[in-house]
Structure 1
Amino acid sequence: MLSVMITGSAFFPGLFVTLKTWLLRRQGWQEGDAVIMSARLVSIMQSLLASASGVLITTYCHRDVLHARHWLATWYVWFATPYFAYDIVAMFLSHRHRRRSQVDVRPETHPGAGVVGTSLREFLRREALMVTHHVGVCLLCFPTSAFWRAGVGDFFQGCMFLAELSTPFVCLGKILLQFKQQGSLLFKINGLIMIATFFCFRILIFPYMYWAYGQREGLSFWAVPGTLPVVNNIAAALLVAPQLYWLFLICRTAVSRKGHGFRGFAVSRRANNGPSELTKPSPEGKEAAD
């Protein structure tokens, strides 16, 4: 499986560099716009791969949610874990370019190392929850899924992959903003789909997994938590808590009338060959849900 992880470690950064180079050289985009767009497109690719894996795994394993096996449940964990390490870097690069679009940074007055250090501190402060989430995936979720499951619960692993179903709509919303389409019908429809998929596959997926386990064991939904190890319930609570917080932020921006229904997102008016950059990241840090 180490070769699978190495493949993932090369695939996601390689796709990012390829997309950025294409946007810079073929489309004439500016550096910041190309970085931000490339990061979003890679996020969409990862979410589509994860979602497809989740659909295949849950469909195949639904008859025995505890002991049925599917090779993708382990394979994709090894392949996708490097994505979360890469994504922290991609998030920082996007943040730095947004900051440059807002602040006039002159090399002669702001040494490069100092600028990077300041930008990094701002990034870690603003995206603390998302960075913590990504680090937790790498240090806790990966060993749990790859080693400690002992071949049990592929169905539930597939359910966790399905959580990525909301990410393409989140990223599409950010792309539409980047092209100044926040007043379009497509943007509004996409926002509704984003909220619906986020709620279903990042919130309701947890009680659904409890229910599915109860069905197998002949237990009511309410009896399931008491039959599981305490650590399982704590882990589920820790996983769903940030999702609830991000859903709250998304809904809060959606009900606002400021900025065509999504408060706090502004589009810079820089004149360039590509689309304008966002001046503020999404509620979830890495393009809102990812």
Structure 2
Amino acid sequence: MGMLAICNAGSLIAATNLVISLHPEDKITVKRGAALTALGFVYFMTLFELLNSLALSTGAGARFRHKYRLSCGDVLDITNKLVSAVQAALSCVTGAIVCLWSCTRDFMRSSHYMSEAYAWFGAAYFFYDIWSMYMVHVQMNSNPEVSSSKRRLSKNGSAPLSSGDSTVQKKQGTTFLDYCKHEPVILMHHLFIGGFGFLVIVYLRGNLGDCTFGFVYLMELSTPFVSVRGILSRMRLKSSRLYIVNGILMLLTFFVCRVLSLPYVCLMYSRVLGLSYVDAIRSLPTGCKISICILLLPQLYWFYLMSAGALKMLFGTGKKSASFSGGDVAPSSLPCGGCGECARCAAQAGASQCGAAQCGAPQCSAVPPGKAHKRS
């Protein structure tokens, strides 16, 4: 774990050292850019592994997993979202630097090396994340091998471990090709951003400035709130005040940074040209207008879905149902006081009570087949 921490911190320091001495309007050479990409791979992969080690191999991590009844798949999903939030923070820092430099000078021509530098460094994230999400997919679609019918204690005896902490056995449908078929949209998104988006920022824009790309980087400001939302869901805290507050912040940042940002950039462009808003948009090359639509239309759709979900959560009257993906169920409200997966267990075990060997829920492996859950 110590070596992971050293490699993680060292890669970020080395990447910073590669660009810190450059003049703001310098270009990133291919050699320097390739080094940044390699360091990006090291940084994001070691960060993912470091967080997993903290959660799966320490006493504090064991207590955390036990408290929130997290399986190994839950842990990997949480750490994947934490790395995503870190990447978003780095992207926002880059966007702020670029906007403060380029947008306050020549809108059409001014550039800052950070836009290209982070394009090289950040491209590694999108390809790392494909691998990371595949690891989560494998864990979520695997059966735990239960070595004992009783709950196992960690080495220091601080907390019992869930069945998700044991070695997993792959089911059918967990090959990488199966994952690609299962998640084609997110896969294409990552390949598009990490490939075509990188080429646009580094090569295809020619001598044009990067003020617009600064706003594109700032679109990631909502991502940490999206990640926290997913993490709280995994921890079964969807009914908590923190979940509601985070959801409101997520909506606000998403609306400002993803829905309003591109129209605002078009407004800045119209002022530079001295044209009306509509005429300025009409004057854009066809490729630019298509790119704006590709970026903006999905944001509008996602914002609609998020808003509808928020309204349903705040004003809906229906009872919340338990779900294995993170529904909120208070153990005390269940007949058995367990994990809230009784119906799922019964369906898989073929019995009216939970069966340990067949159920994938973290709490269910704590009891022998045919016995009801006990309160943890």
**Aligned match of 1:15 in 47, 59, 62?**
47
Cα distance change of structure 1 residues 72 and 135 upon mapping to structure 2, 3 Å threshold: same
Q: Any conservation in 2 of the 1:51–1:161 contact (CA below 8 Å)?
A: yes
**1:202 is aligned to 2:258:** yes
Aligned length: 264
Structure of higher RCO (CA pairs closer than 8 Å, 6+ residues apart): 1
The counterpart of 1:33, out of the listed 74, 86, 93, is 74
Q: What does residue 177 of structure 1 align with?
A: 233
Residue 73 of structure 1 deviates from its aligned partner by 0.9
Q: What aligned pairs does 1:59-208 form with structure 2 within 5 A after superposition? A: 59-63=100-104, 64-100=106-142, 104=143, 112=170, 114-117=172-175, 121=178, 123-208=179-264
Task: Give 1:48-59 correspondences, 5 Å limit.
Answer: 48-59=89-100
TM-score, normalised by the number of residues in structure 1: 0.82
Whether the 8 Å contact between 1:259 and 1:266 is mirrored in structure 2 is no
Whole-angstrom CA distance in 1 between matches of 2:272 and 2:258 = 22
| Residue equivalent to 2:280 | 224
Q: What code does the residue aligned with 1:98 have? A: M
Computing the radius of gyration over CA atoms, which structure comes out larger, 1 or 2? Answer: 2
1:251 is displaced (CA, Å) by 2.1
Per-residue displacement from partner, 1:126-172 (whole Å, max 9, x unpaired)?
Answer: 53322221111122111111111124221111100000000011111
CA contact under 8 A between 1:176 and 1:182: conserved in structure 2? yes
**Does the CA contact (< 8 Å) of 1:92 and 1:120 recur in 2?**
no
Cα distance change of structure 1 residues 260 and 47 upon mapping to structure 2, 3 Å threshold = farther
Residue identity over aligned pairs, in percent, reads 27
In 2, distance between residues paired with 1:220 and 1:265? Answer: 49
Q: How many angstroms apart in 2 are the aligned matches of 1:113 and 1:147? A: 43
1:241-280 alignment to 2 at 5 Å? 241-256=297-312, 257=316, 266-267=326-327, 269=339, 270-271=361-362
Unaligned regions of 5+ residues in structure 1, if any? 273-290
1:248 deviates by: 2.4
Distance 1:162 1:141 in 2: 15
RMSD: 2.7
Match of 2:35 in 1: 3
Q: Structure 2 stretches of 5 or more lacking a match?
A: 1-32, 66-70, 147-168, 329-338, 340-360, 364-376
Give me the whole-angstrom Cα distance separating, in 2, the residues matched to 1:259 and 1:130: 31
Q: Decide whether the 8 Å contact of 2:51 with 2:79 is kept in 1.
A: yes
Match of 1:42 among 78, 83, 87: 83
In the alignment, the residues of structure 1 paired with residue 273 and residue 226 of structure 2 have an alpha-carbon distance, to the nearest angstrom, of 36
- The change in CA–CA distance for 1:113 and 1:97 in structure 2 (over 3 A counts) is closer
C-alpha distance in 2 between matches for 1:115 and 1:105 = 16
**Per-residue CA distance 1:264-284 (angstroms, 9 max, x = gap):** 964383446xxxxxxxxxxxx
Partner amino acid, structure 1, of 2:273: E
Q: Which residue of 1 aligns with 2:16?
A: none
Q: Following the alignment from structure 2 to structure 1, what is the Cα–Cα distance between the partners of residues 291 and 244?
A: 34
